[in-house]
Every structure is written in C-alpha cells, then in structure tokens.
Amino acid sequence: MNDRFAKTPQPHYYAVIFTNQLSEDDAGYAEMGAKMFELASNHPGCYGAESSRDSSGLGITVSYWKDEESIAAWKADAKHLVAQNSGIERWYSHYELRVAKVERAYQGPKGRSV
Amino acid sequence: MNDRFAKTPQPHYYAVIFTNQLSEDDAGYAEMGAKMFELASNHPGCYGAESSRDSSGLGITVSYWKDEESIAAWKADAKHLVAQNSGIERWYSHYELRVAKVERAYQGPKGRSV
C-alpha cells in the first residue's frame, strides 16, 4: 500500500467525490490543484484524499472526512483559496461534486503486503 | 458535460468508490477493466460510472447505484467475471473499495453549458 491511498478508519465517515473535466485553458491549474489537495489533507477532520487524472484531463479526487462539520469548515477555506485565484470557471469545463456517507469498506488483494 | 460523467438522479443513491493501483504485470487488464466497466454500467439499478487512471497506474472508478440490492446483484456477476479471468491478485498491488450513500450533490461551473 503506497501513500496514494487515504488511511481511513472503520466506517462511518464521509467522502467528498469530485469528478471534473479540465478545460483546454488550464494555465495555473496545476499549482492551484496541488494547493487545494494540501489544504484538504491538512484540514482538521480530514483522513486524507485519493486523486487521479488521465491524459484527457478527466480527474477524480475523493477526500475523506470525519463528519459534515469538518467538510463545512474546509469548504469555507477552499472558497477563500478559489476566490484568491479566481479561476474555477476557467479551469473546469464541467464538474460533479457529491457528498456521501461511507457505510462499508474493504481492501485487498488479500495476502498482498504491498 | 460529456459522457464521462454519470447521469445521477437527486440523492439519495449509492456510490461504490474503487481506488486501485495497477501492478507492473498488468497483462490482460485493459480488456478485463473495460468488461467490468461495461458490466456495471449496463446492470439494473446502475446510474453510470466515472473512471480515471493516471500514468502511474493509480485509478479511481466510482459507480452509482439505486440501492444496496442492485450493488449486491452486480457484485455476484462481477465475481463470476473475475473468476473466469482469475487475475485480481496479479493486476492490483493494492485496492480500497468503499460503499457510500450519497446525501448531497452539486454540479458546475454555473453558467457553463459544456
């Protein structure tokens, strides 16, 4: 298991699923994305995040949270960061954000230590 | 909005979040992964799936479901497919699978029609 996986506790906890398509004009995005990821990961109540983006610019980031209150506090901070960088409409051609309560979790493959 | 995004209804519904790291030995994976994605997408009770894999082999697939019963039926079918292809231990060095109930959802950016 490498550090690209979040170290989440036993359920229940919350997941924020952010699926997004980068625009062709993505100047400044890489830096902003990294800042946002760091902001979430270090926020109180955050258990970590997992993120992948393919060569077509489709990305999925899932961050994991203790409770709704932690998500709300992070959202307020994220709004400040986005406002400072005023770019969300330009960077993303579309995004879907879903907040979900994790009820069950498994990991594998069984017997692998990696 | 392109067809890489799932067309989900108003919450509540379920999300199966599958984060996985491909092994270096991923022979046969591409075909199997595509079959699995198709199997899920066409299953009764599935609202679609979103998937991204980066150049390091870290992938996140989130499939969306009407209820727990639909997930259970799909899981049974998926087990058959995996058994026929006997490869899950070889393909993945690690995976995390989380089942979550989507409580809230948003999309954006506002005012964009793409």
Cβ contacts (< 8 Å) between B93 and chain A: which residues?
Answer: 112, 114
How much is the pLDDT for A87? 62
Cβ-contact A33, A110 below 8 angstroms: no
What is the pTM assigned to this prediction?
0.91
- B55:A55 CB<8 A: yes
Q: Which helix (H) or strand (E) holds A84?
A: helix A68-85
> B8 in contact with A at a CB cutoff of 8 Å?
yes
Helix axes B68-85, B29-41, angle to 10 degrees: 150
Residue B22 forms beta bridges with which residues? B92
The answer to which of A15-19, A107-111, B79-83 has the lowest mean pLDDT is B79-83
How much is the pLDDT for B46? 96
How much is the pLDDT for B34? 84
From the CA atom positions of chain B, what is the Rg in Å? Answer: 15
> A66 in contact with B at a CB cutoff of 8 Å?
no
Give B15's pLDDT tier (boundaries 50, 70, 90).
very high
Mean pLDDT of A88-97: 85
Task: Among B4, B98, B113, pick the best mutation site for testing chain A contact (most A Cβ within 10 A).
Answer: B98
Cβ contacts (< 8 Å) between A97 and chain B: which residues?
Answer: 105-108
Give A33's pLDDT tier (boundaries 50, 70, 90).
confident
Cα dist from A14 to A35, A105, B57, B102, whole Å: 21, 12, 25, 10
Give B89's pLDDT tier (boundaries 50, 70, 90).
confident
pLDDT at A111 over 60: no
pLDDT at B113 over 50: no
> A80 in contact with B at a CB cutoff of 8 Å?
no
> A92 in contact with B at a CB cutoff of 8 Å?
yes
The answer to which of A68-72, B81-85, B100-104 has the lowest mean pLDDT is B81-85
User: How does pLDDT run across A65-80, given as a tens digit for each residue?
Assistant: 999 999 999 998 887 7
> B76 in contact with A at a CB cutoff of 8 Å?
no
Q: How far apart are CA B68 and CA B78, in angstroms?
A: 15
Winning range, highest mean pLDDT, from A29-38, B18-27, B90-99:
B90-99
Identity of residue B97: L
Q: Could you give the ipTM of this predicted complex?
A: 0.90
Cβ-contact A92, A22 below 8 angstroms: yes
How much is the pLDDT for A51? 94
How much is the pLDDT for A110? 74
- Tell me which chain B residue has its CA closest to the CA of residue A4: B58
Cβ contacts (< 8 Å) between B21 and chain A: which residues?
Answer: 2, 4-5
User: How does pLDDT run across B23-41, given as a tens digit for each residue?
Assistant: 887 777 888 888 888 888 8
